[in-house]
Amino acid sequence: MIRIGIILGSTRPTRRGPQIAQWVLDSASRRGDAEFELIDLREHLLPHLEEAAPPMFGPSAHEHTRAWAERIAPFDGFVVVTPEYNGGVPGVLKNAIDHLCAEWADKAVGFVSYGVHGGARAVVQLRTVCGTLGMADVSYQVAISLLTDFENHTTFTPRDHHVAALNKTLDQLIAWSGALAPLRACTDTTLVDSCGADHGHDQRFPARNR
């Protein structure tokens, strides 16, 4: 069965993300067409990228990076639950993405964002990043307002349009995750554009071990 990881992309002490991520997990788990699991970045507190070489060049020398790679590799697709900080992607989420390369490739990704303006600008940036890593970002997304979608500004209260948007996002995500399975099963080397390299030309990296 298809496995989908729900990435909680904030580590702030006062974050609103856990409520939203749990809603996504509870809603998704009732579907029956995929397995879903929460991935909390608080459980993988990676330092600011200190790798000696880009992740495309092989396993890291650091245990924390190898553990993060092992956590991500088994999944076929992801839902990224992200806030918007100052008009962009949270640094901790971008850092976690940049620590890996092959573990992201040929997988589908959908977005559930939140912020004063629904987190839309963070998702715009994430679509570019994920596309560069060879991920297929689905068109539907869920946008949650911190001003109108939290009761007393503390408790997330999903509305009918949030439920509908999440269902459409998951429909696309699961379909695309299945469609990309032949590419993930490939054992040959894969051509990618950059994957964190400091070079302008194409690079090759070994396909992931599954």
| pLDDT cut 90: percent of the chain above it | 77
Q: What pLDDT shows up at residue 59?
A: 76
Place of tokens 């400091």: 198
The C-alpha torsion from 196 through 197 and 200 to 206, rounded to 10°, is: -100
209 falls in which pLDDT band (50, 70, 90)? very low
Burial class of residue 64 (count of CB atoms within 10 Å of its CB; 0-12, 13-18, 19+): middle
Distance, in Å, from the CA atom of 162 to the CA atom of 109, rounded to the nearest integer, reads 18
| pLDDT cut 70: percent of the chain above it | 88
Q: What pLDDT shows up at residue 195?
A: 57
Lowest mean pLDDT among 17-31, 38-52, 134-148: 38-52
CATH classification of 3-205, choosing from 3.30.70.1230, 3.40.50.360, 3.40.50.1820, 3.90.950.10? 3.40.50.360
Instruction: Decide if pLDDT at 208 tops 70.
Output: no
Instruction: Decide if pLDDT at 49 tops 50.
Output: yes
Whether the CB-CB separation of 121 and 85 falls below 8 Å is answered with no
Instruction: Decide if pLDDT at 152 tops 50.
Output: yes
> pTM of the entire structure?
0.88
Whether the CB-CB separation of 54 and 196 falls below 8 Å is answered with yes
* Residue range 153-202, pLDDT digits in tens: 899 999 999 999 999 999 999 999 999 999 999 844 443 444 554 433 33
Report DSSP letters for the chain, one per residue.
--EEEEEE----TT-SHHHHHHHHHHHHHTT-SSEEEEEEGGGS-PPS---SS-GGGS--SSHHHHHHHHHHTT-SEEEEEEE-BTTB--HHHHHHHHT-STTTTT-EEEEEEEETTTTHHHHHHHHHHHHHTT-EEEEEEEEEETTTSEETTTEE---HHHHHHHHHHHHHHHHHHHHTHHHHT--S-EEES-TT-S-SS-EEEPPPP-
